[in-house]
């Protein structure tokens, strides 16, 4: 990652692993990702569950805010998709015809610049087989985890669902299926060039933790920074945005993405991650909400009400200017210059007073992105107080 106001924060999400919940979080992940890399998204679930319309989804891909990665048959072969045993794989002409067209347009572009990317054939099965040949003791371990009562807290939903299909084929098939999912997931993250894997469930994070603690196959992609730390912080941010959504009610995220809000949020999260990057992921629980609360509490609205009466715009300079312009207008009602002067003075006085009492936008030195997200505008005094209260209730 780089620094600066336009810092990238490339994220990756195997979104269909989370079912409908993943798609309900789509607009939240998009709000802080630059860009958001999605693996083989389901057009069915985009249409049914996402807070983004199919038309907007295609537009975000076209603009590069979302990048799609999938095997060739997912992107290009409608018959294969419609014959898939999972109903969510079905082809949607409005979305998938457009994605296939974008893929064709980008075919000659460098891979890093493509908006829809065809991924290479999977390597997970072969890598999992080779690893278990070298570490046969891991076969029983992963079978034991899969069949335990706590499997749902330790294995990702996608890995469990895929492995369930081979349960009856024995311990080796179970272990191979789990590790195949892990390898494919890691290779996909590396292939997209993402900084942060978005693991939206505790089971996913526990799964990756188990992999890291118990075995470190040399073929598993390694990264320069700890992806689990960034993933943990990003996952916390998704929950904060969900809380803000509850507060503000349903609202199109388009205005936030088009305006300053997204840039502010990407930079804010990027900077938080850089400051926390030396910590263990287990030591950052609740860090995002604490960081945001702290910054909001330290932030100040310029020229609060207590200073309003002493501000130049409401003292002699502003008032006298307004009165002199008014007097000249009374003495010479036809004087257009005087009328203009009085109007300007009135605007100055009214605008200044309005700012002090929170009627007009005020200058605020705390984080602005929560206000763009919740209110579509920069922070105002009353909104600062309201948002502090809302976040104080966050659990």
Task: Work out the burial of residue 294: count CB atoms within 10 Å of its CB; fewer than 13 is exposed, 13-18 middle, 19 or more buried.
Answer: exposed
Rounded percentage of the chain residues whose pLDDT exceeds 90: 43
Q: Nearest to residue 251, comparing CAs of 370, 371, 367, 375? A: 375
On whether both 51 and 148 belong to a single domain, the answer is no
Two tokens, residue 230: 């960034």
Out of 68-82, 100-114, 197-211, 365-379, least confident range: 197-211
Q: What is the pLDDT of residue 67?
A: 96
On whether both 150 and 175 belong to a single domain, the answer is yes
Q: Nearest-5° angle of CA 56, CA 73, CA 92?
A: 35
Q: Give CA separation, 287 vs 75, 240, 275, 282, 284, in Å.
A: 38, 11, 11, 11, 5
Confidence tier at 306 by pLDDT (50, 70, 90): very low
Q: Flag whether pLDDT at 92 surpasses 70.
A: yes
Confidence tier at 228 by pLDDT (50, 70, 90): confident
Q: Are the CB atoms for 28 and 238 separated by under 8 Å?
A: yes
How far apart CA 119 and CA 112 sit, in angstroms, is 12
* Chain Cα centroid distance, residue 84: 29
On whether both 149 and 208 belong to a single domain, the answer is yes
351-389: pLDDT as tens digits: 444 444 434 445 788 999 999 999 888 998 889 999 999
Q: Which domain holds residue 209?
A: 124-185+203-214
Is omega for the bond preceding 35 within 30 degrees of 0, making it cis?
Answer: yes
In-domain check, residue 32:
yes
Q: Nearest to residue 318, comparing CAs of 354, 285, 284? A: 354
On whether both 114 and 128 belong to a single domain, the answer is no
Please tell me the chain's helix, strand, coil percentages from 3-state DSSP, rounded to the nearest 5: 65, 5, 30
In-domain check, residue 270:
no
In-domain check, residue 390:
no
Q: What is the pLDDT of residue 300?
A: 87
On whether both 181 and 157 belong to a single domain, the answer is yes
Alpha helix (H) residue ranges in 193-250? 202-214, 227-248
In-domain check, residue 87:
yes
Q: Flag whether pLDDT at 259 surpasses 80.
A: yes
Q: What is the pLDDT of residue 25?
A: 93
| Cα dihedral 76/82/83/86 (nearest 10) | 110
Q: Nearest to residue 204, comparing CAs of 155, 161, 143? A: 155
Q: Are the CB atoms for 190 and 155 separated by under 8 Å?
A: no
In-domain check, residue 378:
no
On whether both 176 and 114 belong to a single domain, the answer is no
In-domain check, residue 276:
no
More confident site: 210 or 274: 274
Q: What's the domain count of the chain? A: 3
In the numeric block, the tokens 């898939």 are attached to 84
How far apart CA 87 and CA 2 sit, in angstroms, is 40
14-23: pLDDT as tens digits: 898 888 889 9
On whether both 104 and 36 belong to a single domain, the answer is yes
On whether both 88 and 139 belong to a single domain, the answer is no
In-domain check, residue 34:
yes
Q: Nearest to residue 58, comparing CAs of 110, 16, 94? A: 94
Does residue 47 sit in helix, strand or coil? Answer: helix
Question: Residue 354 contacts by C-beta under 8 Å, 6 or more apart in sequence?
Answer: 360
Q: What is the pLDDT of residue 213?
A: 53
Confidence tier at 166 by pLDDT (50, 70, 90): very high
**Angle, helix 157-164 to helix 171-192, in steps of 10 degrees:** 140
Question: Domain boundary at 61, 95, 118, which?
Answer: 118
How far apart CA 376 and CA 261 sit, in angstroms, is 8
On whether both 160 and 66 belong to a single domain, the answer is no
On whether both 158 and 114 belong to a single domain, the answer is no
43-52: pLDDT as tens digits: 999 999 998 9
In-domain check, residue 84:
yes
On whether both 210 and 155 belong to a single domain, the answer is yes
Out of 64-73, 108-117, 227-236, 302-311, least confident range: 302-311
How far apart CA 207 and CA 193 sit, in angstroms, is 22
Pairs from 18-21 (Cβ < 8 Å, separation ≥ 24): 18/157, 18/200, 18/201, 19/45, 19/157, 20/45, 20/48, 20/49, 21/200
On whether both 92 and 178 belong to a single domain, the answer is no
Between strands 116-118 and 66-70, the pairing is: parallel
């Amino acid at each position: 990652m780089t620094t600066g106001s336009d810092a990238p924060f490339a994220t990756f999400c195997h979104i269909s692993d989370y079912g409908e919940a993943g798609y309900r979080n789509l607009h939240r992940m998009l709000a802080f990702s630059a860009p958001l890399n999605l693996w083989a998204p389901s057009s069915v679930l985009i249409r049914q569950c996402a807070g983004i319309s199919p038309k907007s989804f295609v537009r975000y891909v076209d603009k590069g805010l979302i990048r799609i990665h999938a095997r060739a048959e997912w992107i290009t072969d409608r018959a294969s998709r419609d014959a898939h045993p999972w109903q969510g794989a079905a082809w949607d002409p409005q979305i998938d015809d457009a994605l296939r067209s974008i893929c064709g347009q980008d075919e000659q572009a460098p891979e890093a610049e493509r908006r829809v990317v065809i991924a290479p054939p999977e390597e997970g099965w072969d890598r999992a087989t080779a690893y278990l040949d070298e570490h046969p003791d891991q076969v029983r371990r992963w079978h034991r985890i899969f069949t335990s009562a706590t499997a749902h807290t330790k294995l990702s939903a996608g890995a469990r669902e895929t492995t369930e299909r081979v349960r009856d084929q024995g311990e080796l098939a179970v272990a191979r299926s789990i590790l195949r999912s892990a390898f494919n997931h890691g290779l996909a993250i590396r292939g997209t060039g993402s900084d942060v894997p978005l693991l939206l469930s505790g089971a996913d994070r526990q799964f990756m933790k188990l992999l890291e603690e118990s075995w470190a196959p040399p073929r598993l992609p390694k990264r320069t920074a700890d992806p689990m730390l960034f993933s943990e912080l990003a996952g916390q941010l998704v929950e904060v945005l969900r809380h803000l959504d509850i507060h503000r009610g349903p609202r199109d995220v388009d205005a936030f993405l088009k305006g300053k809000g997204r840039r502010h949020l990407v930079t804010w999260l990027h900077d938080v991650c850089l400051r926390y990057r030396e910590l263990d992921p287990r030591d950052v629980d609740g860090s995002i909400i604490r960081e945001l609360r702290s910054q909001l509490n330290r932030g100040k609205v310029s020229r609060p009400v207590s200073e309003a009466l002493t501000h130049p715009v409401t003292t002699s300079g502003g008032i006298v200017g307004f009165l002199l312009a008014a007097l000249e207008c009374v003495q010479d009602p036809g004087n257009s210059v005087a009328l203009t002067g009085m109007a300007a003075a009135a605007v100055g006085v009214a605008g200044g007073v309005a700012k002090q009492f929170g009627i007009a936008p005020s200058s605020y030195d705390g984080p602005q992105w929560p206000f763009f997200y919740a209110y579509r505008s920069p922070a105002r005094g009353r909104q600062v107080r309201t948002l502090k209260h809302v976040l104080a209730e966050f659990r």
